[in-house]
């Protein structure tokens, strides 16, 4: 009976709309989703999932369509991603994935914003200096997309809390700024049997790779964990904002690909870019295994 009531409400609010290519679709507007939530007590995410199951597209996702099917959008809304680090990379990753419609996010960072973050960290502002990055990230997600369920952890990712943090997630996105911590995250992902999307930035350059549990992973990039430096090249060249946004977009593209069940373009490969002169290179990692 409850399902019938919800479906009746969805169909009563649904309206036919037209895409830029003149194709038609049935849509439900945000204000109507909010009204249904008030009437039923259901969370917005559950209502959006029910709408998509009924072939009704939440209007906020209409421009995802043609690239993403209704089934794809539903799959993303039922996905759970961990974003580890909420600075230059992580803030932009959080923003993008909220907008594309990832239904659940675990947001992890024990740091607070300081003035040096203002040049590149999307979630930073003068008013947020001294505030928890994790808590500000949660507020931003809620502001952008109320349908996203957020789990906030204002703590640093470590070997002793990694498994609890990653529990229930489908993949992790590395937005950390130290190589040592990346190895800790990689090991935790292998134990949790989930893929890891890793990126690093420095100046206007960036790199990215995708590591599945059975892959050699970071040691093919940095060498053995015990011999790798703690900081990468960003420590000596700084970080420009367009480099951070560019590499965050790369991570989000790979996350969407993997969550939709498609082969990762960066698995067992190293993507390198110099954003300022628009050059990119893609290398196969030496210890990679066949997918």
Calpha distance 73→27 (Å, rounded): 14
- pLDDT for residue 214 is more than 80: yes
CA angle 112, 114, 117 (to 5 degrees): 105
Write the pLDDT tens digit of every residue in 226-278. 887 777 667 678 899 999 999 999 999 999 999 999 999 999 999 999 999 99
Burial 64-77 (b: 16+ CB within 10 A, else e): beeebebebbbbbb
User: Coil, strand, or helix at residue 170?
Assistant: coil
Interstrand relation of 171-174 and 149-153 (parallel, antiparallel or unpaired)? unpaired
- pLDDT for residue 287 is more than 70: no
Q: What's the half-sphere exposure (Cβ side, CA atoms, 13 Å) at 146?
A: 10
pLDDT band at 133 (very low <50, low <70, confident <90, very high): very high
Least confident of 107-111, 150-154, 234-238: 234-238
Calpha distance 60→289 (Å, rounded): 40
Output the pLDDT for position 227.
Answer: 81
Output the pLDDT for position 233.
Answer: 67
| 65 phi/psi in degrees, rounded to 5 | -70, 160
pLDDT band at 2 (very low <50, low <70, confident <90, very high): low
Output the pLDDT for position 230.
Answer: 76
Query: CB under 8 Å to 143, separation ≥6 — which residues?
Result: none
Measured from the Cβ of residue 139, the count of other Cβ atoms closer than 10 Å reads: 15
What are the residue ranges spanned by the domains of the chain? 2-74, 79-284
Q: Is 195 in contact with 189 (CB distance < 8 Å)? A: yes
Output the pLDDT for position 1.
Answer: 53
Single out the residue of 197, 94, 90, 216 nearest to residue 143, CA to CA.
Answer: 94
pLDDT band at 291 (very low <50, low <70, confident <90, very high): very low
- Sheet strands side by side (includes 15-18): 15-18, 24-28, 57-58
| Average pLDDT across the chain, whole number | 95
What does 140-161 look like in DSSP terms, one character per residue? HHHHH-TTSEEEEE-S---TTT
Calpha distance 162→166 (Å, rounded): 6
Query: CB under 8 Å to 253, separation ≥6 — which residues?
Result: none
Domain 79-284 -> CATH class: alpha beta
- pLDDT for residue 172 is more than 50: yes
- The two three-digit tokens of residue 171, written as one number: 């993949």
Helix H or strand E segment including 98: helix 88-100
Quick one: CA torsion of 224, 254, 207, 84, rounded to 10 degrees? Answer: -60
**Between helices 44-53 and 70-77, what is the axis angle to 10°?**
150
């Amino acid at each position: 009976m409850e399902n019938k009531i919800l479906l009746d409400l969805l169909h009563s609010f649904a309206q036919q709309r037209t895409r830029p290519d003149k194709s038609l679709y049935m849509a439900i507007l945000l204000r109507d989703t909010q009204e249904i939530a008030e009437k039923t007590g259901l969370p917005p995410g559950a209502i959006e999932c029910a709408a998509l199951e009924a072939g009704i597209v939440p209007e906020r996702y209409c421009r995802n369509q043609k690239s993403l099917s209704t089934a794809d959008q539903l799959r993303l809304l039922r996905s759970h991603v961990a974003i580890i680090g909420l600075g230059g990379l992580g803030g932009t990753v959080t923003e993008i994935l909220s907008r594309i419609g990832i239904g659940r996010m675990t947001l992890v960072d024990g740091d607070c914003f300081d003035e040096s973050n203002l040049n590149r960290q999307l979630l930073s502002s003068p008013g947020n200096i001294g505030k928890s990055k994790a808590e500000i990230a949660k507020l931003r997600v809620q502001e952008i997309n109320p349908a996203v369920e957020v789990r906030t952890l204002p703590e640093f990712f470590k070997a002793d809390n990694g498994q609890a943090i990653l529990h229930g997630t489908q993949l992790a996105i590395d937005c950390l700024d130290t190589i040592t911590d990346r190895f800790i995250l990689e090991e935790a992902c292998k134990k949790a049997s989930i893929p890891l999307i890793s990126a690093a930035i420095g100046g206007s350059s960036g790199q990215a790779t995708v590591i599945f549990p059975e892959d050699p992973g970071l040691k093919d990039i940095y060498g053995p964990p015990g011999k790798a430096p703690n900081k990468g090249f960003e420590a000596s060249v700084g970080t420009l904002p367009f480099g951070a946004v560019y590499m965050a977009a790369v991570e989000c593209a790979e996350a969407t690909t993997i969550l939709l069940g498609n082969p990762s373009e960066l698995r067992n490969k190293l993507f390198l870019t110099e954003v300022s002169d628009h050059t990119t290179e893609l290398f196969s990692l030496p210890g990679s295994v066949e997918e």
